[in-house]
A and B are shown apart, each in its own frame.
Chain A
Amino acid sequence: MKIVVCVKQVLALGDEVEFTDDGRDVDPDFLELSLNEWDAHATEEALRIRERSADGAGGEVVVVTVGDESAADVLRRCLAMGADRAIRVEAGPGALADPITVARALAEPVRAEQPDLVLTGVQSSDSVQAATGTALAELLGLPRVAVVTRIDHTDGEPTAVVHRELEGGLVDVTEVDVPALLTVQTGINEPRYANLRAIKQAREKELAVVRPSPAGQPACSVRRMYAPPRGEGARMLDGEPAEIAARIAEIVKERLS
């Protein structure tokens, strides 16, 4: 049983924002890097499937990302969690511009692994397109299910039964042919923490670096990024916690009276 997990290093904004001189992105100095939350769940799920599969430790979990050298950090985190190997697809200029382009960069390296399952997160916390996984499935010619909260699969069976989480909490129980690509929703599991020894060992592991597949034409391009208009916004209550609480109590009681 071989499972490939595609992960992303995401960028999070702190309290302050400044934009690049061309106004098309946020100044990198104001961004913090981390493993995408959904991808941590996808990695955890792959590890659990490997652990309960028939060949147990014989199974393999391979994590893949597209990015520059800094993205190696997220691969090492996945290795520390227990992934067996990691591949970084070297990102050229514009390689992360849109999810379709990212899927194209991932396609050949993932195909070369001939996985039984491919897992991705539903979406990334920074761009929120929820598209890379489904686009990648198409490029790989794989069946897929998006927004999965449960995976039932016995090694060697031709299908898996998965839960697809619809809006409002309704679950669509879906049978999918394998090999398949599944995009994993938070709530499917609780990602494990890596212990210090595993983190240290992951630092010493070698990461494979491969060239991306041809990018093709971009699917979109950002022409301007800006602070969102505040609109009317909230009326801010200032002061000490006691004063804030007093105002809230007053407003609530008046509204409910």
Chain B
Amino acid sequence: MKGVLVVAEQLRGSVRDVTRELITAAAELGGPVTVAVLGADPAALRAGVDVAGVDEIVEVRTATAEFENDVYQRAVEALIAERDPAAVLLGFTVNGMGYGPAIAAKLGLGFASDVFGLAREGGDGDRIVCRRAMYGGKVHAEVELPAGRPALIMLRPTAWPAATGPGGAKVTQATVGEPGSSRARHREFAEAPASDIDITTAEFLLSIGRGVESKDDVPYFEALARKMSATLAGSRPLIDSGWLPSARQVGQSGKTVKPKVYLALGISGAVQHLAGMKSSDLIIAVNSDPEASIFGVAHYGAVADLFDVARELEKLF
């Protein structure tokens, strides 16, 4: 059976968690698992990927320390040509979005992204079937990737548990030719503005979403949160609109939170939002749409108008 190539993701000298989730998925898929680690000093990242399930680590030395999409594309294309894997797994992440689809388009690979389930089918396991969501998570789809050519698959972060346990993989070094010129160059990182609130340490988050239809209503929920001794948080649309500061954003592009209680009012539950709060101890969701995705992760739910419920809650705290 042909192998699976995992491309490690790293940021500022650390391997990101999604890498070990990709390793779990690769090991489940079957076939030898190779992890490619790119960096100015890839050996320094070895401990972050040498975990159970990995057969081989390929270290690719690059001229730049941080991610640049041309560099990753060139390296992964070279590894695909050399190793002819059944599947190449990337994270469905901002970095992955910058080069994964380009490789698939250039080499004519099978392709699917935001995938949360994988299986091999056919006599020699040559056909890969992915599970993913469509139409705002309201339906799921089984997607077949064509047999006979490699598939490039981008996996949803947090969909698989991270691989742990001792490794012991064989380590090889690869050179992928002259670095050439990178057309989109990393200059520096800019941090989000500092804030005096930290939603990641709060025990009780009152989180609001698109259901709050006007900026003028935000102060009401600030007051409600104070009354309930909760910390106010929100989903991406409210931060995009400038109604709440970015320090209060829950989700993949904001903060990952695990409070004792997460009370979501008017949040439908985009995948990126769920990834940032689904590990909360207790989730209660109020939404007017009975099909809202948030009810899939909530422990308690209510189909109701959030303002009606909020006005009643106000009296009880």
Contact = CB atoms under 8 A, between A and B. Distances in A.
Interface of B is mostly: mixed
Contacts of B94: 146-147, 164-167
B108 A251 contact: no
B7 to A, nearest CB: 15
Contacts of B130: 220
Interface size class of B (residues with CB under 8 A): 35 or more
B204 A246 contact: no
A243 to B, nearest CB: 9
Contacts of A248: 263, 284, 286, 300, 302, 309, 313
A233 B183 contact: no
Contacts of A12: 135-136
Q: In this complex, which of B97, B111, B186, B239 has the most chain A Cβ atoms within 10 angstroms of its Cβ? A: B97
B266 interface: no
Given A134-B99, A168-B254, A146 B69 contact: yes
A2 to B, nearest CB: 20
B189 A171 contact: yes
Interface string B165-197: 000000000000000000111111111100000
A174 B9 CA distance: 18
B261 A134 contact: no
Contact of A128 (B114, B186, B311): B114
Contacts, number: 281
Interface in A212-257: 216-231, 233-238, 241-242, 244-249, 251-252, 255-256
A246 B312 CA distance: 8
B97 A134 contact: yes
A1 interface: no
B161 interface: no
B142 A220 contact: no
Contacts of A245: 309, 312-313, 315-316
B134 interface: yes
A133 B104 CA distance: 12
A4 B108 CA distance: 25
A180 B182 CA distance: 13
B44 interface: no
A36 interface: no
Given A98-B111, A139-B105, A169-B253, A131 B286 contact: no
A100 interface: yes
B226 interface: no
Size band of the interface chain A makes with B: 35 or more
Contact of A241 (B97, B104, B144, B304): B304
Interface string B110-131: 1111100000000000000110
B51 interface: no
A146 B98 contact: yes
A88 interface: no
Contact of B98 (A134, A224, A237, A255): A134
A51 interface: no
B139 A227 contact: yes
Contact of A230 (B110, B255, B260, B296): B296
A127 B111 CA distance: 13
Contact of B189 (A137, A172, A231): A172
Contacts of B237: 186
A13 interface: yes
Contacts of A252: 204, 228, 261, 263, 284
A9 interface: no
B135 A130 contact: no
15 contacts: A99-B101, A130-B97, A134-B97, A136-B105, A163-B190, A171-B189, A172-B189, A225-B140, A225-B141, A228-B137, A233-B296, A236-B303, A241-B312, A248-B309, A256-B203
Given A98-B112, A134-B98, A251-B284, 7 more contacts: A31-B135, A100-B111, A104-B105, A146-B94, A165-B94, A234-B301, A248-B309
Q: Which 9 A-B pairs have the closest CB atoms?
A: A245-B312, A143-B183, A234-B301, A131-B101, A241-B308, A138-B102, A187-B240, A135-B105, A219-B111
